Amino acid sequence: QLQLQESGPGLGKPSETLSLTCTVSGGSISSTTYYWGWIRQPPGKGLEWIGTIYYSGSTFYNPSLKSRVTISVDTSRNQFSLKLSSVTAADTAVYYCARLYGYSYGYSDYWGQGTLVTVSS
């Protein structure tokens, strides 16, 4: 059974860089069928796609966040990571990693449990 697990600091200060890692178990991140993405949800609000990466390293970002986002992949560790720079309180959210089927903005059939990141001074 495929599992995804987010990890990283739960608290950050304004202007800093948020860093999260997603560890994939029960399947290979190098599968040619799937993409791997980050999606976030501010408390009490809806879902926002941040970006996606393919095992080859190709990346696809939401234009609204593109200037601040970097997603990378480490196939040897079966992990992919998110960096979001210059964070503000508006970046406070539950961050989910997910598997996307077929293409960079396909549906997400497996999700991590999510990790709450709070940006506060």
- Say how many Å lie between the first and final Cα of the chain, rounded: 39
- The yes or no reply on residue 3 touching other proteins (CB under 8 A) is no
In this structure, the strands spanning 115-119 and 93-101 are antiparallel
Q: In this chain, which of 35, 36, 38, 49 binds other proteins, going by CB under 8 A?
A: 49
Site string for other proteins, 59-98 (x = CB under 8 A): -x-xxx-------------------------------x-x
The angle formed by the CA atoms of residues 112, 106 and 21, to the nearest 5 degrees, is 30
Smallest gap from Cβ 49 to other proteins, in A, equals 5
Reported in sequence order, the residue ranges of the chain that DSSP labels E, i.e. its strands, are 3-7, 11-12, 18-25, 34-41, 48-53, 59-61, 69-74, 79-84, 93-101, 108-111, 115-119
Q: In this chain, which of 81, 108, 117, 119 binds other proteins, going by CB under 8 A?
A: 108
Q: In this chain, which of 8, 27, 42, 106 binds other proteins, going by CB under 8 A?
A: 106
Number of CB atoms found within 10 A of residue 7's CB: 14
- The yes or no reply on residue 38 touching other proteins (CB under 8 A) is no
Smallest gap from Cβ 109 to other proteins, in A, equals 5
Task: Give the residues lining the site for other proteins (CB under 8 A).
Answer: 46-49, 60, 62-64, 96, 98, 101, 103-109, 111-114
